[in-house]
Structure 1
């Protein structure tokens, strides 16, 4: 998959732009605050229906405008063009079009436009809470297992209903029927996640060895409850505790991916530059696995690429990206900062105060 064209209207400081991209390497050059990250954010927004910088839609829509509008044209693996569009107003209402058809879903957009994001704040994948690592796992499962999205949606809905009941019931019995269904669905979700991590692990290990040869990294999936006990049994055993807290304390919504180096959390061992390389390894592994499994390419968005990586490591990452044949967008202050990325001729865009021009 490649984003062939992007039209942006009233997004952040970008009033309007209509851009055509290379299917491989695209470099965004400009000073800090010029709008480079906003363009990456617009691409991410088109594929996810949300920002990676703010949860508030009003902060993303350009000042004094009623809504933002994004239009894209995607080339699939057969080189066919698929139009997609997203409009979002200050009231949070979205309008999604796919292939010219209205009333499509954000999940359909995400399926068409698989995106991997690497930013200076990307360390949260390693050092942040479990939700970031669950999101990492679920990205891969979503793009490979068609039934996952609906299963996970139902699990979240039942968990929400269970949490509401916990605030009113005095005995476990009213929860038993809910827990039976929750357990059945949760076991399926967990099996899909576990299978995906087992499939992904060899690629992660290979890339970690390439990026961080001095370390041996270990990954382990934790499903969110005792591995040897059925979830329904654990939910019944934890009823008093859950009632006290007012929410469900075990289940697939507590799953995690634990990353260690010789048994020690990675953030306690690696420098910031090494952590960034590990994040790159994890993201690249997912992209490679997606292509191998489905034939689809993901799009890589890399913000402030040069920070915390020396020339050798930048060159190594460039080589790995080139081998994927994926579409890449990189932001930097000067093209000299990413000279190691020039394995093939890139398309370079200059960004200044929200105005974007191709060099």
Structure 2
């Protein structure tokens, strides 16, 4: 799957932009603040319904505009899948999403239609921040791999919200016990689906890690969010007084995590910053390849500021791994030579962004 036409209106400093990307690698270059990252952010919005740069959606709407509008014409592997995606966000918070002209209510439909992998300088949050980022990474892949995961996951979130509210209200355990039984009911399929996915991801990751970090013995494991030797229902009852005192549920599937270790150390303590960036890239590439294997869909890769942290040799290695996926790729850089000189084939398209104006460069930048 790829984007053949992209329209952006009133999105950050992009008042109006139309792009016709190629199937392969699309290079977007320009000075800092020109708007090149905003192009990637707009694509991410179309696939996720939110930004990878800000939690406050209204900030991406231009100041003088009441709404932003995004539209993509897609080329799909399967003709039955949606081929037109439209997204409109109003300043009052209302959102309109259409696929092939039909309005959709769930943003999860966007993720099904337009799978997005993003690699940015902020991608280190996968390793350095708390387990939420790693859990989101697992859940993205599990969502695509197992059709039964999403409804069970929605129920876990609903039940956790109800249980935590009861804890804050000082409810007795008898009042909470019903919700514990419901939580256990849905925690099992969520946890099993996550574990299966991580096991599959490990198989895809091995060869990529050998290419990126040949001297590193990396071990990746899934933790379900509570002691594996303890029954969850029993644990919830045992920890009721603790949960009551804290006002939230301490253990459960909402605490699942992905652990990455080198020898006996967390990866973030054992690897250099450049190695960590390669590790994050390897995880994203492995996830995209697994998606292709499991569903027949290609991800779209958004890679922002790729030259930072990586020398020319590793940029070349990363770009080769990305292009070998056969997926559509959007890469930004300040200087185009930092990307072009590391490619074994010319970019499919080259775009220059200056003060919010996007221009396609008609000729390749390397003979």
Q: TM-score, normalised by structure 1?
A: 0.98
Shift of 1:231: 1.0
Q: CA deviation at 1:220?
A: 0.9
Alignment-derived partner of residue 364 in structure 2: none
Q: Judge which range, 307-316 or 102-111, deviates more.
A: 102-111
CA contact (8 A) 2:167 2:248 kept: yes
The offset of 1:356, in angstroms, is 0.1
Residue matched to 1:33? 33
Question: 1:274-313 CA deviation, whole Å, 9 max, x = no partner?
Answer: 1100000000000000001111000000000111111111
Structure 2 unaligned spans of 5+: 362-367
The secondary structure found in structure 2 opposite 1:65 is coil
User: Which consecutive unaligned segments of at least 5 residues does structure 1 have?
Assistant: none
2:365 aligns with: none
- The number of aligned residues is 359
Pairing of 1:155-194 with structure 2 (within 5 A): 155-194=156-195
Q: In structure 2, how many angstroms separate the alpha carbons of the residues matched to 1:317 and 1:244? A: 48
Distance across 2 between alignment mates of 1:63 and 1:341: 39
Aligned-pair CA distance for 1:170 = 4.9
- Give the drift of 1:167: 2.2
Which position in structure 2 is the counterpart of 1:355? 357
Mapping for residues 85-234 of structure 1, pairs under 5 Å: 85-234=86-235
Instruction: Say if 1:35 and 1:354, in contact at 8 Å, map to a contact too.
Output: yes
Paired position in structure 1 for 2:64: 64
Identify the range of structure 1 (248-257 vs 338-347) with the bigger mean alpha-carbon deviation. Answer: 338-347
Question: Secondary structure, in 3 states, of the residue corresponding to 2:297?
Answer: coil
- Which residue matches 2:16? 16
Q: Which residue of 2 aligns with 1:243?
A: 244
Name which of structure 1's ranges 251-260 and 70-79 shifts more when overlaid on structure 2.
Answer: 70-79
Query: Secondary structure in 1 aligned to 2:141?
Result: helix
2:320/2:344 contact within 8 Å kept? no
TM-score (norm 2): 0.96
Q: In structure 1, the residue corresponding to 2:345 is in which secondary structure?
A: coil
Give the distance between the partners of 1:34 and 1:79, measured in 2 at CA: 36
Aligned to 2:334: 333
Alpha-carbon displacement from aligned partner over 1:326-359 (angstroms, at most 9, x marks no partner) = 0000000111001213524430000001000100
Contact 1:26–1:348 (Cα < 8 Å) also in 2: yes
Instruction: Describe the SS at the equivalent of 1:260.
Output: strand
Does the 8 A contact of 1:315 with 1:340 survive in 2?
yes
Contact map agreement 1:318 1:343 (CA 8 A) in 2: no
Residue by residue, what CA displacement relative to the aligned partner does 1:99-146 show, whole Å, maximum 9, x if unpaired?
110134211011110000000111110111100000000010011111
Per the TM alignment, residue 92 of structure 1 is displaced from its structure 2 partner at its CA by: 1.3
